[in-house]
């Protein structure tokens, strides 16, 4: 029997989807019905939601490596979503070496990615959405935000490619975050011109700064099979801190627990038998909010890119709330079914399904749209810049290899001793031997404030910057965690004690092996400043210049800090350097 490469990849993926290890000697005997089993979802109940989030404008299938470091602090220690690798698989009873193991963990990433192929892609996602809707015509499709940003074509079309794709996908309801980096005027223009009559844009926690009036509808009421439901929007609460304030100068944000409770009570009095919050808080914040606000049946969450196979159940004064998070990059589609009888929820089923491009055929209508919208940019997207000999990835609490590459480019091209790069969670992965094209670079740097900077900072300034960011991530109170992952650092080393008090987490900072002196000044390059009026060479020009000069990127030594006081944290891979208790 002769198989094409694509057919061979499909067979491997099918076998793994059916629970057969990728290395199983009988993998070629797997039947296509295994793929059907992966996506076979028997109908349950009478109320259904489909949910995707944080796709970051990835219209095409990609590779995406899950984190090997996802530290939990305070009550989140050892609790989902802060489990990685083997511990995550064991917690959710996922067999190692299978397609699901590849989807949900970083383990054996390169080998599994080559066997199973790429994930996501809106044409493949569209096929799965239509398949679910065939058995659940009443189902609503919810978009958790971070949809319009993260790719070259999204940036170059001012988000229009994603707006039109989401309409074609059949999105019903959306809540935002990175959407606001296009500016308040552009967001309102899209809602008025493109979304009107198609997509409800909801956010209960955004108000005008002058009078506190709602900027967007707080919720939308729908009906499925005679059951009234409410979907309440919760935008990212710290948008003006994590992103430039001047993009949304006239609006206030925040978590707004009290207002959330008022909205929940209001929709209940309006007859809602099911109340769902479409959230971009991040999973730890959602878990805390679920314990404080009664009457929410489920929180369909995003922001932290946590692909969690099952909900976390929070008991509260009103009963219980299911808290979920549906991953990123179009890699997953979540389906939540409720059985509602007698005015009450009698049961539920939840499934987070990986979107394997080799197992789901491309939807012809969506594929034709994607090809059409990308056509004017195709030559630019495909421009080769260099080749990588090692895996390039980003996601994790600290530096990834993509971050390391960006940092080295900043130091080399801008002539800096030290470089900082923002700890964003978005950005696709490349396998060893892949070509680094303009498109793949833009996946890492495609935002609307790309200016690079060169500053003189004292050692004390550098410590203060790192301590401030560390507190945004490792504060034991989720409501005080205002950032993404830790700022990426190049040119210097340090020790991090995530569980130490504020101001005492960053230790032993060194440059070229020598201690960084508090009063000495150092040249520091960076990019993506949230301050207004910052100018400088765009980051993509800096990194492109570096890549063209290097031509081949050797496997990178990722500059990850040594971690102390973390113990046997199930959110830290055994391969990550940890040691001692240290003095924090």
Domain 49-63+117-371, classified CATH 3.40.50.300, yes or no: no
Does the pLDDT at position 358 exceed 60?
Answer: yes
Mean predicted lDDT score pLDDT of the chain: 93
Question: 394 and 429 in contact (C-beta within 8 Å)?
Answer: yes
- The predicted pLDDT at position 36 comes to 73
Task: Say whether 148 sits in a helix, a strand or coil.
Answer: coil
Tell me where in the chain the CATH 3.90.780.10 domain(s) lie.
382-563
Give the chain's largest Cα–Cα span.
Answer: 72
pLDDT of residue 567: 80
Strands 344-354 and 332-341: antiparallel
Q: With a cut of 90, say whether residue 4 has pLDDT above it.
A: no
User: From the CB of residue 258, how many other CB atoms can be counted at a distance below 10 Å?
Assistant: 10
Helices and strands in the chain, H and E counts: 18, 25
Whole-number Å distance between alpha carbons of 557 and 124 = 35
Top-tier CATH class for 382-563: alpha beta
Question: Is 118 or 578 the better-scoring residue by pLDDT?
Answer: 118
pLDDT 10s digits, 297-343: 999 999 999 999 999 999 999 999 999 999 999 999 999 999 999 99
Phi-psi region of 56 (alpha: psi -120 to 50; beta: other; left: phi over 0): left
pLDDT the model gives residue 260: 98
pLDDT at 32: 55
Q: Quick one: how far is CA 85 from the chain centroid?
A: 18
pLDDT of residue 482: 86
Is residue 100 within 8 A of residue 354, CB to CB? The reply is yes
Whether 30 has a pLDDT exceeding 70, the answer reads no
CA distances 122 to 50, 139, 162, 175, 499, Å, are 14, 18, 10, 19, 40
Residue 354 is given by DSSP the state: E
Arithmetic mean of pLDDT, 45-51:
98
Least confident of 83-97, 268-282, 307-321, 472-486: 472-486
Q: For the chain, what percent of residues have pLDDT higher than 90?
A: 90
Give the pair of three-digit tokens for residue 399.
Answer: 């530096």
Average pLDDT over residues 505-525: 98
* Cβ-Cβ contacts under 8 Å for 476 (sequence gap 6 or more): 73, 74, 75, 499
What pLDDT sits at residue 572? 95
pLDDT tier at 130, thresholds 50, 70, 90: very high
Compute the average pLDDT of residues 494-510: 97
The structure's pTM equals 0.94
Given the DSSP bridges, would you call strands 312-316 and 319-325 parallel, antiparallel or unpaired?
antiparallel
pLDDT, tens digit (0-9, with 9 covering 90-100), for 206-227: 999 999 999 999 999 999 999 9
Where in the sequence of the chain do the CATH 3.60.21.10 domains occur? 49-63+117-371
Segment 387-405 shows an average pLDDT of: 96
* Confidence bin at 432 (pLDDT 50/70/90): very high
């Amino acid at each position: 029997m002769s198989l094409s490469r694509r057919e061979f990849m499909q067979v491997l993926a099918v076998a793994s989807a059916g629970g057969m290890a990728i290395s199983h000697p009988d993998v070629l005997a797997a039947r296509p019905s295994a793929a059907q089993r992966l996506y076979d979802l028997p109908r349950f109940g009478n109320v259904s939601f489909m949910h995707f989030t944080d796709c970051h404008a990835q219209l095409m299938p990609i590779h995406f490596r899950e984190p090997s470091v996802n530290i939990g602090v305070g009550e989140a220690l050892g609790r989902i979503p802060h489990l990685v690798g083997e511990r995550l698989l064991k917690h959710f009873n996922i067999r190692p070496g299978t397609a699901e193991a590849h989807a949900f963990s970083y383990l054996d990433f390169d080998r599994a990615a080559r066997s199973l192929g790429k994930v996501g892609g809106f044409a493949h996602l569209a096929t799965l959405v239509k398949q679910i809707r065939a058995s659940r015509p009443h189902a609503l499709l919810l978009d958790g935000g971070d949809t319009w940003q993260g790719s070259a074509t999204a940036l170059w079309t001012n988000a229009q490619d994603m707006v039109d794709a989401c309409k074609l996908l059949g999105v019903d309801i959306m809540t935002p975050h990175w959407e606001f980096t296009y500016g308040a005027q552009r967001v309102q223009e899209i809602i008025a011109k493109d979304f009107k009559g198609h997509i409800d844009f909801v956010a209960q926690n955004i108000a005008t700064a002058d009078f506190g009036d709602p900027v967007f509808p707080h919720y939308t009421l729908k009906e499925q099979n005679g059951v009234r439901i409410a979907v309440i929007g919760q935008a990212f609460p710290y948008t003006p801190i994590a992103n430039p304030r001047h993009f949304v100068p006239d609006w206030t944000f925040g978590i707004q627990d009290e207002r959330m409770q008022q909205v929940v009570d209001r929709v209940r009095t309006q007859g809602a038998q099911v109340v769902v919050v479409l959230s971009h808080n991040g999973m730890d914040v959602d878990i805390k909010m679920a314990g404080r606000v009664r009457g929410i049946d489920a929180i369909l969450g995003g922001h932290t890119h946590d692909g969690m196979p099952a909900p976390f159940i929070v008991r509260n004064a009103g009963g219980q709330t299911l808290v979920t998070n549906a991953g990123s990059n179009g890699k997953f589609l979540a389906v939540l079914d409720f059985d509602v009888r007698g005015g009450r929820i009698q049961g539920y089923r939840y499934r987070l399904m990986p979107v394997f491009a080799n197992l789901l055929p491309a939807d012809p209508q969506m594929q034709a749209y994607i090809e059409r919208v990308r056509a004017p940019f195709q030559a630019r997207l495909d421009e080769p810049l260099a080749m990588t000999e090692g895996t390039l990835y980003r996601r994790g609490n600290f530096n990834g290899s993509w971050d390391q590459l960006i940092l080295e480019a900043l130091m080399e091209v801008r002539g800096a001793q030290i470089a900082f790069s923002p700890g964003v969670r978005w950005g696709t992965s490349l396998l060893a031997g892949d070509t680094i094209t303009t498109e793949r670079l833009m996946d890492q740097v495609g935002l609307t404030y790309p200016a690079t900077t060169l500053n003189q900072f004292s050692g004390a300034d550098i410590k203060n910057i790192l301590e401030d960011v560390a507190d945004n991530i490792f504060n034991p109170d989720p409501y005080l965690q205002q950032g993404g992952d830790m700022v990426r650092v190049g040119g210097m080393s340090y020790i991090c004690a995530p569980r130490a008090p504020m101001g005492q987490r960053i230790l032993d900072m060194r440059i070229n092996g020598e201690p960084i002196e508090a009063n000495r000044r150092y040249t520091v390059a960076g990019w993506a400043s949230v301050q207004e009026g910052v100018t400088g060479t765009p980051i993509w020009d800096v990194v492109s210049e570096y890549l063209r000069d290097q031509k081949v990127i050797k496997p990178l030594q990722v500059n990850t800090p040594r971690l102390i006081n973390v113990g046997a944290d199930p959110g830290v891979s055994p391969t990550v350097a940890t040691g001692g208790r240290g003095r924090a």
